[in-house]
C-alpha cells in the first residue's frame, strides 16, 4: 500500500485537530502556605510550595484595619515551585491567595492564625 503526500497531510491534520480539541485540566489552586511573624509589626510571612514555576502569587488582605484599604502583595514563583510573601495582617484576617499562570487563575482562602 502506498501513501501519497495528501494522505499523510490529512492524517497529520486530523491528529493536530484531535489534539487541539482535547480538554485541558484547570489550574490547581496553590497549597496552603505556612505562616510566621514578620519582622515589622502587624506583618506575617507566608511560604508556599508546589506552585506552578514562574506563575504569580498574589495575596490580598481585604481586612486591613490599619490602612482602611485592602493590602495586596505578590511575588513570582521560583523554578522549584516555592514562594514567599510578606503582607500586613493580624490574627483572624481572612486572606485570599491567588495563583496566576498565563490566562488561568486559581485561589484559596487563608485565615491568619498567629
Residues 102/103/108/114 CA torsion (nearest 10 deg): 50
pLDDT band at 70 (very low <50, low <70, confident <90, very high): confident
Residue 89 contacts residue 113 (beta carbons within 8 Å): no
Q: 25-111 has which fold?
A: Immunoglobulin-like (2.60.40)
Identify the bridge partners of residue 31 per DSSP, sorted by sequence position.
none
Domain-wise residue ranges, the chain: 25-111
pLDDT band at 9 (very low <50, low <70, confident <90, very high): very low
Residue closest to 91 by CA, chosen among 47, 21, 37: 37
pLDDT band at 5 (very low <50, low <70, confident <90, very high): very low
Amino acid at each position: 500500500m502506498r501513501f501519497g503526500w495528501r494522505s499523510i497531510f490529512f492524517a497529520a491534520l486530523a491528529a493536530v485537530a484531535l489534539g487541539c480539541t482535547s480538554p485541558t485540566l484547570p489550574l490547581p489552586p496553590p497549597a496552603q502556605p505556612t505562616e510566621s511573624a514578620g519582622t515589622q509589626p502587624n506583618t506575617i510571612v507566608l511560604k508556599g510550595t508546589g506552585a506552578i514555576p514562574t506563575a504569580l502569587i498574589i495575596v490580598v488582605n481585604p481586612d486591613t484595619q490599619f490602612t482602611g484599604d485592602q493590602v495586596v502583595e505578590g511575588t513570582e514563583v521560583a523554578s522549584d515551585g516555592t514562594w514567599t510573601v510578606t503582607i500586613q495582617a493580624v490574627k483572624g484576617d481572612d486572606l485570599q491567595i491567588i495563583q496566576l499562570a498565563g490566562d488561568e487563575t486559581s485561589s484559596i482562602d487563608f485565615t491568619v492564625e498567629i
